[in-house]
Amino acid sequence: MPSVSADTGPSAAELEEIERKYDEGAATKAVGKGMAVFLRIVAVVFALYHYFTAGFGLPSDHWHMGWHLSGLFILIYAFYPAFKTRDAYDLKQSFWRIGNVSVLDILAMLLGISASLYLSLAWRGIAFFGIEEQTFRMGNPNVYDLIFGCIMIVLVLDLARRTLGWILPLIICIFMSYALLGPYFPGILQHPGVKFQTFVSSMYFPHEGIYGVTLWVTSTVVFHFVLFGTIAQRTGLGQLFIDNASILAGRYTGGPAKVSVISSAFFGTISGSSVANTVSTGSLTIPNMKRLGYPGHFAGGVEAAASAGGQITPPIMGAAAFIMAEFLNVPYTTIVLAGIFPALLHYFGVFSVVHLMARKLGLKGMAKETLPHFGKVWKSGWANILPLVGLLVVLFSGYTPYMSAFCGISLLLVVGMARRDVVLSLIIPVGFAAFVCWKALSGEFGVGISITLLAATILGIYNPQKRVTLAEMVTTFETGVKYALAVGAASAAVGIVVGVINTTGIGFRLGFMVTSGATEMADVIHALTEFGGYELFSTSSISLFLSLVLIAFSCILMGAGIPTTALYIMLVSVAQPALAQLGIPPIASHMFVLYYGVVAEITPPVCTSAYAASAIANSNPFRTGVSAFTLGLGKVVAPMAFVYAPVLLFADPNGFDLLTFAYSAVSAIFGVIALSAAVVGVWLAPLAVWARLVLALGGLVFIAPSFASDIIALLIITPVILQQVLARLSQPASV
């Protein structure tokens, strides 16, 4: 682990090493000069292909996903070592290596490209080889289909293993075994089994398995937003977020920690990686927190918890929002609206713990002279907000996510590279303006959208910040592609899980096992809580709560080390059917599994964001993980709140009622405040152990919003409230 100074913060090289160590998708090996040039060309062409097709039209699905997979095979087999040994990332030379890429990797690369493009080439049939149209081969694959299908399945699993480690491929192999060996499984899990030919066909042919919705969304939406976030950070939007967070919160109690929370929330709107978010904002906020007096493990925990929240923060939500809209067949804006309050609840929880901890430690805010000046920040950085505004305007106007990404990336190129006094650079804004006019004249863009994008384009060339050169932008494009490789590999591999679930129905079988097991436990607990015919809780309410807890634990366990997008796809296929059987509205069940999957980012022992933060803070990794988990209680309890009160997602089956929403929101907030005070040990005054336990219990009861539960919660915490008020009156300066 690199040595990080608590006074000056980590260097750029140390940050790169931290991200490479804890974000497995960023851990690429060194390659020779010639190979580096070739791979840079491939990466830039890969990025430009996705960029231009987003704006000018996608090819057929099988061709588009085939090209996407081909790029993944080339870049992953070149950049990621077969095994992560100590010297695997070093530059080596031998007869069996070309530019530090082994002959075996090149062979696998070529086989992967062949398997990716064969499907498209043979889509309409190849008479010379006796290959019929794909429609006639569905469920009855020929020899070529079986060969290339097996190659594809094996190599896709290898891509996931190289980029993300063994966990995801092992989970997928279990699902594959279940599909093929169904008759040998016991009890309710038993099924007739899937024939090998049928299995390969289902996993290889569209629109299930590898070429299913998971890869389609990744190749048409997720990649573009990862690229947008990378370019936005390079052109200055990330720094603008941090500066404004400092202006908003820096002067108050525990200033740097609150800056960390707000800046991570801002950055999370454009970032697709919790670790990247942690490293980007934590490099500034963690050293500042330590200088103020926060313990290293707590400073790292604050940053990790806040950064992980970016994965559930609208409008992008780690790109899972787009897939959720696809699965639920609802407008994207519905998902964004549903995600607003839960994300706010998470950040409110982190903010509350930070504030109470600052009071407990007697920490003050940052000195006024150390804070950025509002006028200077916006005078130099105003142009950086234009691409985000353009992207959101197009997105919320009902256009496709990839069209909004195209417009956002185009404006980033204008803002970053074009300047009115550099004539050659004006090619970029002129080209994008011509595109907007073409769309407007063809009737595809409305007047309002066209004026907004043209105005942003014109204003962008007046950006006062230093111009990004072409070489720097090429490097940024290459970096953006590298960030997207792990997500692409995971999404292709997770498609196998989705295919198995659709083929075998295991999702509903697992759901039945969970609900039936919870019902049996509920009967036992109900008998213990029934007094003389009076029941404290009904059997159905106990069964629902136990089912939610079991599913939540499963989501957290499965979420270890898997990117948000791929994780959500897998969890929604496995866990969501169980929630559906409990009568939970679809959007609430989808949000539930997403939230608990993301909780794995800050849950020991596998909590990559917390480990990255601990490296910057130079603190104990496990202790940092524990701090991150306790700080993220808002994210832990939020799913329970919106399952019991779907109105918090604006998704109540009975219709939205503002009064019900306000009541449920206030109840959930009270619960988070009580839990935060219990975690820190301070509220109005220091809390005794008994008071912390009582507050924790009351907070949990508050999280299930209803009049009856809130009355019970108030009764539970009333002794603590009285004790705290009396302690505060007798010792007003004790905290």
Quick: pLDDT tens for 27-60. Answer: 678 888 999 999 999 999 999 999 999 999 999 9
Angle at which helix 61-79 crosses helix 33-56, to 10 degrees, equals: 160
Cβ contacts of 84-91, under 8 Å, gap ≥ 24 = 84/27, 88/29, 89/27, 89/28, 89/29, 89/30, 90/29, 90/30, 91/30, 91/31, 91/32
In 3D, which of 651, 690, 483, 481 has the Cα closest to residue 42? 481
CA distance 226 to 316: 10
Higher-confidence residue of 146 and 524: namely 146
pLDDT in tens, 622-632: 888 888 888 77
pLDDT reported for residue 735:
41
Across the chain, what does the average pLDDT equal?
84
Band of residue 619 on the pLDDT scale cut at 50, 70, 90: confident
- What is the dihedral angle through the alpha carbons of 407, 411, 412, 415, rounded to the nearest 10 degrees? 180
Q: What are phi and psi of 97, to 5 degrees?
A: -130, 140
Q: With bands split at pLDDT 50, 70 and 90, how would you rate the model's confidence at 559? A: low
Higher local confidence (pLDDT), 280 or 679:
679
Residue 102: enclosing H or E segment and its boundaries? strand 101-102
Which of 616 and 88 is assigned the larger pLDDT?
A: 616
CA angle in degrees (0–180, nearest 5) for 370-374-380: 105
Mean pLDDT of 521-543: 78
Q: Is the pLDDT of residue 190 over 90?
A: no
Whether 272 contacts 226, CB under 8 Å: yes
Looking at 277-286, 498-507, 544-553, which range is the least confident one?
A: 277-286
Is residue 593's pLDDT more than 90? no
Strand, coil or helix: 126? strand
pLDDT at 432: 96
Q: Which of 47, 131, 39, 48 is nearest to 79 (CA)?
A: 39
Percent of the chain predicted with pLDDT > 70 = 92
Q: pLDDT-based confidence at 113, cuts 50/70/90?
A: very high
How far apart (Å, rounded) are the C-alpha atoms in residues 339 and 367? 35
314-327: average pLDDT: 76
Predicted confidence (pLDDT) at residue 119 exceeds the cutoff of 70: yes
Percent of the chain clearing pLDDT 90 (strictly above): 27
Judged against a pLDDT cut of 50, whether residue 498 lies above it is answered with yes
Classified as helix, coil or strand, 657 is coil
Q: Are 599 and 556 in contact (CB under 8 A)?
A: yes
**Residue for token digits 């964004």?**
336
**How do residues 203-236 score in pLDDT, each as one tens digit?**
998 878 899 888 898 898 888 888 888 898 888 8
Listed residue (296, 309, 307) closest to 615, CA to CA: 296
pLDDT tens per residue across span 357-398: 888 877 777 777 778 888 998 999 999 999 999 998 998 888
The reported pLDDT for the residue numbered 1 is: 40
Helix (H, G, I), strand (E, B) or coil at 192: coil
pLDDT digits (tens, 9 = 90+) for 54-76: 999 999 988 999 999 999 999 99
Please provide the size of the chain in residues: 735
Query: Could you give the angle at the alpha carbon of 242 between the alpha carbons of 236 and 243, nearest 5°?
Result: 85
Q: Which parts of 166-295 fold into alpha helices (H)?
A: 167-180, 196-204, 213-217, 223-235, 237-249, 255-268, 274-292
Highest mean pLDDT among 153-167, 452-466, 539-553, 629-643: 452-466
Assess contact for 354 and 677: CB atoms under 8 A: no
Q: State in Å, rounded, how far the first CA of the chain is from the last one.
A: 37
What pLDDT shows up at residue 271?
64
Q: How far apart are CA 134 and CA 120, in angstroms?
A: 9
Rounded mean pLDDT, 329-354: 84
Q: Sorting pLDDT into bands at 50, 70 and 90, what band is 483?
A: confident
Q: Give the confidence band of 168 by pLDDT, cuts at 50, 70, 90.
A: confident
Is the CB of residue 202 less than 8 Å from the CB of residue 503? Answer: yes
| Cis peptide bond N-terminal to 605, omega within 30 | yes
Confidence tier at 18 by pLDDT (50, 70, 90): low
pLDDT above 70 for 317: yes
Highest mean pLDDT among 153-167, 240-254, 451-465: 451-465
Buried b vs exposed e over 544-558: b needs ≥16 C-beta within 10 Å?
A: bbbbbebbbebbbeb
Alpha helices by DSSP H, listed for 250-331, are 255-268, 274-292, 296-308, 320-328
Q: What pLDDT score was predicted for residue 263?
A: 79
Q: Copy the structure tokens of residue 600.
A: 């794995």
- Taking the C-alpha atoms of residue 274 and residue 378, their distance in angstroms, rounded to an integer, is 27
Among residues 387, 365, 157, 114, the alpha carbon closest in space to that of 258 is found at 365
Task: Report yes or no: 353 and 676 within 8 Å, Cβ to Cβ.
Answer: yes
Res. 694: pLDDT tops 80: yes
Contact 417, 425 (CB under 8 A): yes
Instruction: Judge whether residue 108 has pLDDT over 60.
Output: yes
Q: In this model, does residue 320 exceed pLDDT 80?
A: no
Picking from 511, 505, 498, the residue whose alpha carbon sits closest to that of residue 578 is: 511
**Per-residue pLDDT, 259:** 80
Residue listed under structure tokens 């989970």: 171
204: nearest Cα among 289, 112, 273, 130 = 112
Please write down the HEC assignment for all residues of 563-608. Answer: CHHHHHHHHHHHCHHHHHHCCCCHHHHHHHHHHHHHHHHHCCCCCH
| CA pair distance 644, 666, nearest whole angstrom | 14
Query: Stretch 477-484: mean pLDDT, rounded?
Result: 88
> Whole-angstrom Cα distance, residue 588 to residue 653?
11
Better-predicted residue by pLDDT, 190 or 437:
437
Q: State the Cα–Cα distance between residues 392 and 175, nearest whole angstrom.
A: 38
- Longest Cα–Cα distance of the chain, Å, equals 93
